[in-house]
Amino acid sequence: MTDRFPGYDVLLKRNTLSWNEATRRAIDARLSVHPGPRFFSSDEWKTLRALCGRIIPQPADRPPVPIAAYIDEKMFANRVDGYRFAQMLPQGEAWKAALAALDAAARERRKLPFHELPPADQDVMISLMAENRLVGPLWRGMPSQLFFARRVLHDVVNAYYSHPTAWSEIGWGGPASPRGYVRLDADRRDPWEAVEAHPEEEQDRARAENRHVV
């Protein structure tokens, strides 16, 4: 994957006017999330971690975002979204049922637990789920496609993009209170915004400049 914003670290702004106390508190708590699992069983946990690893494959050269831990925490605290499609189970139950169903499907089709499948085979299983082709009593009436769209993608993607590492990766300014921004025109950057390394350019210049983005 291209590193568009080399060296940019949104956390460097933590002690600047871009972060207020409420933001620091919220992000500090996020960065010290309970490693889990408190909600999932150890079998479910293995499947969940493998699944998260395929929905958001993370590079080996940086500490991974603890996606599964965020999901475990959300289910443990029962923080709900405010709606549930009639055919879906309540979120925690839905996750438990679906992880068991996904794992059983892997064992049935590939003779291995889901988390031991090679990544390409895990992707095949995920695609089957996304296409509503995983069925059976373990799904407890939930369409697997709906579970994939409404729970897997929702919870995994929300977890990943709630982490400063993901913010730095996409060059987002991150928290911005009370300072906000001044330059609103196209191709104008405030000094506290990420520098993009244009593919044809040297990454080094951007990397050097991004060290001063605070």
Partner 1 sequence: MSFEDHVGDAFAEPRARGGRAPDVFTPGGYVPMRQYDDDEEVDFAIVGTGAGGGTLLCRLAEKGFTAIGFDAGPFFRPLEDFASDETEQTKLYWTGNRIVEGNDWLIMGAKNSGRAVGGSTVHFAMVSLRFRPEWFKARSKMGYGADWPLDWREMWRYYEEAEQALAISGPIDYPWGPKRPRYPYRAHPVNAAGMVLARGAEALGMAWSPTPLATVSAPRGKSPPCVYRGFCRFGCSTNAKQSALIVWIPRAMAAGAEVRDLAMVGRIETDRRGLATGVHYRREGQWRFQRARNVVVAGYAVETPRLLLMSANDRFPDGLANSSGLVGKNLMTQPNQAVFGEVDEEIRWYKAPPSTTVTEHWNYDDNKDFHGGYCWMAQGPLPIEWATVLTGSRGLWGAALREEMTKYNHMVGVKMVGEAMADERNRVTLDEEKDDDGLPIARIHYAWTQNDEALIRHALDQMELSMKAAGVRNTFRQEQDANHLGGTARMGDDPRASVVDADCRSWDIGNLWVCDGSVFPTVGGVNPSLTIQAVALRTADRIEQLAKRGELCRRA
CB of 137 to partner 1, least distance (A): 22
* For partner 1, the closer CB: 41 or 85: 85
CB 101 within 8 A of CB 47: no
CB of 188 to partner 1, least distance (A): 8
Q: How far apart are CA 128 and CA 45, in angstroms?
A: 21
CB of 74 to partner 1, least distance (A): 10
CA of 1: how far to CAs of 4, 25, 90, 199, 208, in Å? 9, 32, 36, 12, 20
* For partner 1, the closer CB: 43 or 132: 132
Buried b (16+ CB within 10 A) or exposed e, 151-164: bbeebbeebbeebb
* For partner 1, the closer CB: 36 or 174: 174
Residues in the site for partner 1, rule: CB under 8 A?
A: 1-2, 4-5, 18-23, 25-27, 30, 54-57, 79-86, 90, 123, 126, 130, 149, 153-154, 157-158, 160-162, 166-167, 169-189, 193-194, 196
CB of 55 to partner 1, least distance (A): 5
Q: How far apart are CA 104 and CA 106, in angstroms?
A: 5
* For partner 1, the closer CB: 137 or 178: 178
CA 25 and chain centroid, separation: 20
